[in-house]
Structure 1
Amino acid sequence: MPLLIVFYRNTLTIFLLWVILLSGTTFSYSQKSDTTQTKSEKKESFLNHTSKGFILKTEDGNYEMQIAARLQLRFALPDDQDPITFADFRNQDQRVFKINRARLKVGGHAYQPWIKYYFEYELSRSLLLDYRVMIEKWPWMSFKAGQWKVEFTRERFISSGEQQMVDRSLLNRKFTVDRQQGVEVYGNLNAGGIANFNYWAAILTGMGLGATQNDDSKMMYFGRFQWNFLGRPVPFSGGDLKISSKPAGIIAIAAVTNTSPYTRFSTSGGGNLSGFEGTNDAQYTVKQYQVETAFNYKGFSWSSEFHRKNVYDNFDEISTDLGGFYIMAGYFPYQLINFWPEPLEIASRYAVINPDLSIDSNKQREFAVAFNWFFVEHKNKLTAELTRFTFEDKDLPQDNELRFRLQLDISF
């Protein structure tokens, strides 16, 4: 019953919002119908629809609001969650069908086109995910404040609706910084040709989504430096849907340091990895870095990440090193195979995690193959994915699981 109440409340909120917007648009048109209009005024549209959703704006262009919604429907067997421990391989008889994500997105600019804002709300969980203001007047230096997904890894920063696979890899749980609150400076330094670079630097609370204050005086510090070695960046989107006529490639390095009660972050906020159960303030000092590559050209896409993470328990004085990597590639085979449908992409990913680098026979592996049928690019697509997980431990026999997932993404 509480879930139904939340659902109906959110539905009513969205309905009322649309009524207000449409009523406002109708009123704007009715005002103009009573006055003499020039030809240019008759062409002016206050409410349009683009790839960013429904757009409401003023005539002078100083105010604009973009409203979009996204639904993600998923079927999975025998389970939808990535296995974390050996016990998770015992769930072999489950079937999952769910609304995995239901998002409302509101963005745009106010006062000036370079003063931007963005909100994102998860309707199924009544959770405000993103809220931020961006000052983007100069390409070489912009500013951001609020709560957002930190640009530490390409895999996590790419929207869940614009990925090539059904979801992110095994690495995401252990290495993502996820959403944090703070301030950031970023920009693009372009001197022409291969001298094209992007940078990000942020100071954050380091306590995860929804946390408005730190647990101690030590903040989270983040930095990312990216070389666009072919003169143009690879977009933060999965695949090369536009079949690029010119190649684009990046090499990036990013690092984070933080002291808090947490060793991992997710959409649920701060949490801890297996083996780190402490909850005391400033208990864990986490230092991590990753090296990243990405490349797009003529329908072929490539991405990879190499991670290292150190967790130091300040109370028990124990240091643990974690490592992992993934490689992923995708292609539209219709360019080589005549009978292959043009909207159908094939993609594959291989990931390996070592939860403790001091133990050799302690690895978790993932190999996945996915087929994407793009009805309207990432805005409307169907993805089928088959994944094999393999876990090995020096004290336990190797175990594995084969998982199938089918997902429909719709944005409007």
Structure 2
Amino acid sequence: MKIKLLSLGLFLLFTAALHAQEDNAPAFGKGLFNLVGKDSSFTMKIGARMQILAISEGLDESDEFFANNETNFLVRRARLKFDGYAYSPKLRYKIELGLSNRDIAGVSQFTRNTPRYILDAVVMWNFYENFELWFGQTKLPGNIERVISSGNMQQVDRSLVNSRFNIDRDMGFQLRHHFNLTDSFVVREKLAFSQGEGRNITDGNEGGFQYTGRIELLPLGLFEGGGDYIGADLKREQTPKLFLAFTYDSNVNAVKTRSNLGAYMFNDTGLYQTTTNTIFADLMFKYRGFSLMGEYSKRNAADPIAKNSDGTPTGDVVWVGNGINLQSGYLFPSNWEVSGRFTHIKLDANITGRSPETQYTFGVSRYIVGHKLKVQSDLSYLSIENGSNEVMFRLQFDVHF
């Protein structure tokens, strides 16, 4: 019933938008429709995008490459996006809905066992000079690789550092501010106070709250077109641009294995709680088609081993450890790009039971209309200490309206 109502609502919305904008359709990649109120009291840009993925992966245990791999074809992401302003340009909003299986997975009793359609639902109020207050559900100011949109990535998908350590989306408040130290040196500060449970949790805050602080330094000036949060140097920066950032996140009495992500930790009295701290240090550099992105992540916890009231371990643990990711690429004048990535993960083996992992990835991308229409492919080799190695090949097509 809920799916039928959602489909009907989207159909009516698109029908109304098409009727209103049939003679004023935006250019490709600029949204499906751009609506403006008659009195200019609101705007709404409606966009859609999808990623279609072919993936072949398996253990490297045969003399014949990919002989034992499993191959899948899937809609990796399918999303609708609405953004604009309400009443005043100083009050912006963003709504993003996910429709693919991967987008809406993760139901539990804490989400009332319903699909998790909502990715972002946030309002952003520029209430004074360079200060902006956000309220709603959106990405926390964590590692750069996570905050970069999945539609603007340099390779097919994010690295293992992101999948092990990122702090993703949550519901709460964010305060953002920026200022100039010099004519070109820009500093941005971001603070967040959130529920600490991840996105679309409906049945209360089971643990404590999550506190996040981030500072970003751009000593050589702003990137063209917000390129510090876009993969690849599509703007071909004519002068060197550098981005440096540091994040500290504390999730007080967290109840999941990866801060506000992962599985819930249970014991004989209910949910096991422990304070989890995560740090990120990252950079982005771009110059004339060359790009370099680096990230370091580390997580610890007050008591990472979940225990029952009598002190016996439950089997659940917090994923504590650290990781580093280095990624670089060069964009040729033909809009073909080659890229490489090195990722190393070292979770605490005594706690998590997981061996260190090192992954090497080589990627090739063809940007037809920037990130709005592109084909990407990459080949990865994952080396697991004291374990089996894995190979993976991916091919993905992106289209954004």
TM-score w.r.t. the length of structure 2 is: 0.82
Give the Cα–Cα distance (whole angstroms) in 2 for the partners of residues 108 and 180 of structure 1: 21
> Cα distance, 1:167 vs. partner?
0.6
Matched, 1:260 2:217: no
Give the Cα–Cα distance (whole angstroms) in 1 for the partners of residues 365 and 266 of structure 2: 39
**Quick check: which has more Rg, 1 or 2?**
1
> Cα distance, 1:281 vs. partner?
3.2
Matched, 1:74 2:53: yes
Give the corresponding residue for 2:262: 271
Give the Cα–Cα distance (whole angstroms) in 2 for the partners of residues 20 and 232 of structure 1: 38
User: Which of the residues 112, 136, 142 maps onto 2:126?
Assistant: 136
Q: Alpha carbons of 1:235 and 1:138: their partners in 2 closer, same or farther (altered >3 Å)?
A: farther
Give the Cα–Cα distance (whole angstroms) in 1 for the partners of residues 271 and 238 of structure 2: 52
> Cα distance, 1:244 vs. partner?
1.1
Give the Cα–Cα distance (whole angstroms) in 1 for the partners of residues 79 and 267 of structure 2: 33
Matched, 1:162 2:156: no
Q: Alpha carbons of 1:49 and 1:159: their partners in 2 closer, same or farther (altered >3 Å)?
A: same
Give the corresponding residue for 1:21: 17
Q: Matches of residues 319-338 of structure 1 in structure 2 within 5 Å?
A: 321-334=320-333
Identity value in percent: 29
Give the corresponding residue for 2:79: 103
Give the Cα–Cα distance (whole angstroms) in 1 for the partners of residues 292 and 388 of structure 2: 29
Give the Cα–Cα distance (whole angstroms) in 1 for the partners of residues 49 and 174 of structure 2: 27
Q: Alpha carbons of 1:135 and 1:52: their partners in 2 closer, same or farther (altered >3 Å)?
A: farther
Amino acid across the alignment from 2:257: T
Give the corresponding residue for 2:205: 214
Q: What are structure 1's unaligned runs of at least 5 residues?
A: 27-44, 84-89, 335-341
Give the Cα–Cα distance (whole angstroms) in 1 for the partners of residues 42 and 24 of structure 2: 11
> Cα distance, 1:48 vs. partner?
3.6
Q: Alpha carbons of 1:63 and 1:179: their partners in 2 closer, same or farther (altered >3 Å)?
A: same
Query: Deviations for 1:33-75, whole angstroms, at most 9, x for unmatched residues?
Result: xxxxxxxxxxxx8654464402111355431100000011000
Give the corresponding residue for 2:238: 245
Give the Cα–Cα distance (whole angstroms) in 1 for the partners of residues 319 and 149 of structure 2: 30
Aligned length: 364
User: Which of the residues 329, 333, 343 maps onto 1:351?
Assistant: 343
Structure with more relative contact order (C-alpha pairs < 8 Å, separation 6 or more): 2
Give the Cα–Cα distance (whole angstroms) in 2 for the partners of residues 25 and 114 of structure 1: 25
Give the Cα–Cα distance (whole angstroms) in 1 for the partners of residues 347 and 232 of structure 2: 29
> Cα distance, 1:191 vs. partner?
3.2
> Cα distance, 1:194 vs. partner?
5.4
> Cα distance, 1:204 vs. partner?
0.3
> Cα distance, 1:264 vs. partner?
1.8
> Cα distance, 1:272 vs. partner?
3.3
Asked whether the 8 Å contact 1:321–1:358 carries over to 2, the reply is no
Q: Matches of residues 283-302 of structure 1 in structure 2 within 5 Å?
A: 283-302=273-292
Give the corresponding residue for 1:389: 382
Q: What are structure 2's unaligned runs of at least 5 residues?
A: 60-65, 105-114, 312-316
Q: Alpha carbons of 1:282 and 1:143: their partners in 2 closer, same or farther (altered >3 Å)?
A: farther
Query: Deviations for 1:121-152, whole angstroms, at most 9, x for unmatched residues?
Result: 11224511110000135562111000001121
Matched, 1:312 2:302: yes
Give the Cα–Cα distance (whole angstroms) in 1 for the partners of residues 239 and 96 of structure 2: 33
